[in-house]
Every structure is written in C-alpha cells, then in structure tokens.
Amino acid sequence: MSPSRNGGHADAGNTPASDRFEEDVLALMPALRRYARSLVRSDADGEDLLQDCVEKVLARRAQWRGINLRAWAFTIMTNLGRNRHRYTAMHPQVALDEDLGLEAETRESDPLERSRLERALNGLSVENRSVLMLVVIEGYRYQDVAEMMAIPIGTVMSRLSRARHQLAEAMKDDNVISMRRPK
C-alpha cells in the first residue's frame, strides 16, 4: 500500500511560488473533498469543512516545509474536523442533509445500506473515525497516521481496532432489527 501520494513538489528552502502552491492545492481538492466528507455527517458540513481547511492551508503556507503537501493538508483537516465535531457535539442539531448534488453517482448499492453505514459511522468518536478514514480510504500507513495526528502508533492501532469493532457491532445490531421487523 503506497503511503504517500505526494501532492506537493519538494523544493524546500525556497518560498514556494504562490501560483505553484495554489495549483498544488487545487490538485488536492478531490482528495480533500472526499476526506472532509468522510469526517462529517452531511454534504453541507463536508463542504464547510473543506472551505475551512483550504483557508487554513493558504493562510499557513509559510509554515509548510515544502514536502508532502497532501499529508500536511490532511493533518490540518483532521484537526479542523475534530474542533468542529466538538462543537456540534455540544450543540446537537438534526442533521439536515441538504442535497448539494454531490452524492456518489457511481454508487450501486442500496441507498438503505448507505444510510445504515453512515449512521454507524456517526456513532464513532471523531478520533476513531479519522484514523479509520485515513487508513482505509486515504491509504495512509499506520506510521504516517501516527505522525499526522501526533499520537503513538499504539494509539493508532487501538483507535483503528475500536472503530472497526464498533462499526461491525453497529451494523450487526441493525441486522437483527431488520430481520425481526417482518414478523
């Protein structure tokens, strides 16, 4: 599994030309959009998080070391996602998924399955969810995730484990209910 699809160019030492930097960020937008959406509960929240992240990345470009822009942007997104989650946890709202027309078009499976999986995901803590997404969807190695989140690799493993067990459990519970319902 390839650890780092490096979205950046490695000319550390020079101040990156701003045009080039913005082009690199632009090239990362699909990956960032997907990761943003995978951390939150609705399309609208995903686009909000993406916007916050892009703003932060541009505002902090002076702090970028010049290597692996992708991992750096993902770290920023992870932290923003966590801050946001804390806030919504304190101010629970009904998740209104205004359909922004961003849904996966290629998706074949049952929409019920999709919402079941999303509900199960929403039951995960934001920390466990981030680790799961970085590993499973974004393809980062455990060591990369540890560095990005500034946590020991043992914590990465325990979060991953908790996320997987909890997800499996949530999906299983749902199964039991839907099997009983017809009777």
Partner 1 sequence: MTEDFNAVSEDDLHAYVDGALGPRERVRIERWLDENPARAEEVRQWRAQAVELRALFAGYARSDAGDRERLSRSSGTEEARQEPDGQDRATRSRAGFVRAVAAGFALFVAGGLTGLYAPSLLPSGGARPSQIAESLPRQAQSAFLVYASEVRHAVEVGADEQTHLATWLGKRLDHPLTIPDLSALGFSLVGGRLLPVNDKAGAMFMYEDGSGRRLTVLLGRNADNRETSFRIDESDGVETFYWIDGPIGYAVTGEVPRALLQQVADECYRQFEKSEATKS
- Of 5 and 96, nearer to partner 1 (C-beta) is 5
* CA 6, 144, 123, 83 torsion-angle sign: negative
What minimum distance in Å lies between the beta carbon of 10 and partner 1? 14
Among positions 109-148, residues that touch partner 1 (CB under 8 A) are: 109, 113-114, 117-118, 121, 125, 127, 132-133, 135-137, 141-142, 147-148
1 makes contact with partner 1 (CB under 8 A): yes
In the complex with partner 1, the residue whose CB is nearer, 96 or 113, is 113
| 33 closest CA partner among 23, 22, 24, 44 | 44
Residue whose CB is less far from partner 1, 110 or 182 = 110
CA distance 168 to 166: 5
DSSP string, 136-173: IIS---HHHHHHHHT--HHHHHHHHHHHHHHHHHHHHH
CA distance 130 to 66: 24
- Minimum distance of partner 1 from residue 8's CB (angstroms): 14
Q: Which residue has the tokens 């849904």?
A: 103
Distance (Å, rounded) from C-alpha 21 to C-alpha 64? 10
Tokens encoding 49: 């998080």
Binding-residue pattern over the window 79 to 98 for partner 1, x denoting contact by CB under 8 A: xx-xxx-xx-xx--------
For partner 1, the closer CB: 96 or 119: 119
Q: Which of 4, 6, 9, 56 binds partner 1 (CB under 8 A)?
A: 56
Distance in angstroms (rounded) separating the CA atoms of residues 65 and 61: 9
Examine residue 11 and tell whether it contacts partner 1 (CB under 8 A): no
State the binding string over 60-79 for partner 1 (x if CB under 8 A, else -). Answer: x-xxxx------x--xx--x
24 in contact with partner 1 (CB under 8 A):
no
Smallest distance, Å, CB 132 to partner 1?
8
Q: Out of 5, 11, 20, 51, which residue is the one contacting partner 1 (CB under 8 A)?
A: 51
Q: Find, among 161, 168, 126, 125, the residue nearest to 142 by Cα.
A: 161
